[in-house]
Chains A and B, each alone.
Chain A
Amino acid sequence: MPDPEEGRRRKQRNLAIAGLIATFVIIVYFVTILKIGGQIVERPF
């Protein structure tokens, strides 16, 4: 069984991974918007 310190470190790692994934998703979202630019309103329906 992990001791409390090990559990704390594992929680920190998990939070860091979650934060990095969330940051990556947000960056990809905004990069996509920036790359599409004004073309998004000119797209054919």
Chain B
Amino acid sequence: MSDIAATEAGAPAFSTAGPGEYFSLLKPRVMSLVIFTALVGMVAAVAGGANVNPALAAVSLLAIAIGAGASGALNMWWDADIDALMARTIGRPIPRGVVDRSSAGAFGLVLSVLSVTLLWLASNVFAAAFLAFTIFFYVVIYSMWLKRSTPQNIVIGGAAGAFPPVVAWAAVSGAAPVEAWALFAIIFLWTPPHFWALALYREGDYARAGVPMMPNVKGEAETRRLIFAYALVMAPAGIAPFAMGFAGPFYGAASLALGVAFVWLAWKVRMDIPGSKRAAQRLFAFSIFYLFALFAAILAEDLVALYA
């Protein structure tokens, strides 16, 4: 990594970036969600009969976390120009000028290689290839291609955030069965209403950066309609693990209640008065709790089944 950071005026200056700035390139909050969903995928695979050494499973989880962080760093490398234009991202290390863009890119690339190698060593080539594909999907398909070209960016790009439980399942079992894809479906269908709710009250940000999000391309009314439509599809997907038999009645009841609440809040967004941001903010906040609670319910049930 270079010690030289470009200043705003273009003149080089010695970098004041410490390890903390490089750590924030990994998007720690996103990384923590990836670790959690991957952990649930792993535990569900073990509860389903997969046999794994706990130490190797822990290293696999670490590798998946590093891969997620590497994706975040590469995303910040590529999106440095638009990050500087949005209030939500202007505080990131590159727009602030504490880490130069090429160092962030190199950091992300090195971590990508290390994470895939480590997962290969600790688990199997299938999981490692899947992790490599996930990084590629997030950086190239989403960040480089879709994000700036279509309002469907996060619909398709959301797959990148939905892959980790499948990668984790593959790491401990060597396969990606339909149960793993049920977890994928929950995150995949959750992503659009989650981000569109954010985009509804951050619309100015995305428009200023020229990122075609649904509200600034199709309009607020159409975005609200789509949020509700996706909520109607997502809620049944949330119940699928119970319907498929790999989650128990506790999960079934929790997913039903959480799904109804999600659809209700999405309906409030749908019916909110034009220009109001309140319902969208509430849905965005609840959506984070929704995903966490669903996966926590699976984890709790599986741990009870394994150790009780």
Contact = CB atoms under 8 A, between A and B. Distances in A.
B114 interface: yes
A16 B74 CA distance: 20
A45 interface: no
A6 B14 contact: yes
Contacts of B59: 27, 31
Contacts of A32: 121
Interface string B95-121: 000000000000000000010001001
B22 A16 contact: yes
Size band of the B side of the interface? 10 to 19
Interface residues of A, number: 18
Nearest to A2: B14
Which of A2, A3, A13, A16 gathers the greatest number of chain B CB atoms within 10 Å?
A13
Interface string A1-43: 0110110011011001100000010011011101100000000
B18 interface: yes
Contacts of B11: none
Contact of A24 (B17, B18, B56, B118): B118
B3 interface: yes
7 contacts: A2-B14, A5-B16, A10-B3, A13-B17, A24-B114, A31-B118, A35-B56
Interface of B: 1, 3, 14-19, 22, 53, 55-56, 59, 62, 114, 118, 121-122
